[in-house]
């Protein structure tokens, strides 16, 4: 639980809803949240997040540590949000044509309001949701593997 205590001290952000936000606002807020993940990881245990695809292994490790501590997504939504924003920012920086966006209208009608990444082929990816799944399901929902899947689809 020591890791969680450090994270909670370092983080105080809630998920970003997309209502009434422009594309630039979404990208700006997502980038800020990703940067908060970088700063928090460094502050908590010296982990360096450099926006490389390889750094996503560190996100896997952080979330799996939280899982090992028995935490549930509803207990740490702000932490999961900034980690998911970091995953999304890695996608935006490394997949040509990827950009931050609001979910498609159909997904919003179903209740999805958190920002995500849309690739040039129009596919909406939910990195924040993927981080939640990693916490709930463990390694089977690795964000490092998630990036590889997104990347392979867009080569």
What band does 9 get if pLDDT is binned at 50, 70 and 90? Answer: very low
Q: Cβ distance 147 to 84 under 8 Å? A: no
Edge-to-edge, what's the strand order for the sheet holding 124-125? Answer: 99-101, 116-118, 124-125
Identify the pLDDT of residue 23.
57
Q: Quote the pTM value.
A: 0.86
Cα–Cα distances (Å) from 20 to 15, 26, 128, in that order, read 15, 10, 20
Q: Which residue has the higher pLDDT, 21 or 5?
A: 21
Domains and CATH numbers, the chain: 2-6+21-153 (1.20.120.1090)
- DSSP percent split of the chain into helix, strand, coil, nearest 5: 65, 5, 30
Residue 30 pLDDT grade (very low, low, confident, very high; cuts 50, 70, 90): very high
Q: What is the pLDDT of residues 101-131, one digit of tens each?
A: 988 888 888 888 888 999 999 999 999 999 9
Residue 133 — pLDDT band, cuts 50, 70, 90? very high
pLDDT of the residue at 124: 94
């Amino acid at each position: 639980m020591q890791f969680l205590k450090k994270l909670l001290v370092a983080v105080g952000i809630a998920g970003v809803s997309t209502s009434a936000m422009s594309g630039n606002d979404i990208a700006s807020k997502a980038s800020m949240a990703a940067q908060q993940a970088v700063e928090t990881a460094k502050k908590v245990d010296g982990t360096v997040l450099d926006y490389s695809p390889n750094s996503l292994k560190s996100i896997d490790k952080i979330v799996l540590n939280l899982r090992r501590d028995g935490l549930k997504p509803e207990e740490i939504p702000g932490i999961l949000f900034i980690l998911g924003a970091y995953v999304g920012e890695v996608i935006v920086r490394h997949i040509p044509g990827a950009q931050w966006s609001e979910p498609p209208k159909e997904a919003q009608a179903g209740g999805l309001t958190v920002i995500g990444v849309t690739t040039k082929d129009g596919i909406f990816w939910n990195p924040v949701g993927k981080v939640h799944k990693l916490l709930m399901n463990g390694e089977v929902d690795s964000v490092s593997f998630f990036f590889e899947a997104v990347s392979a689809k867009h080569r």
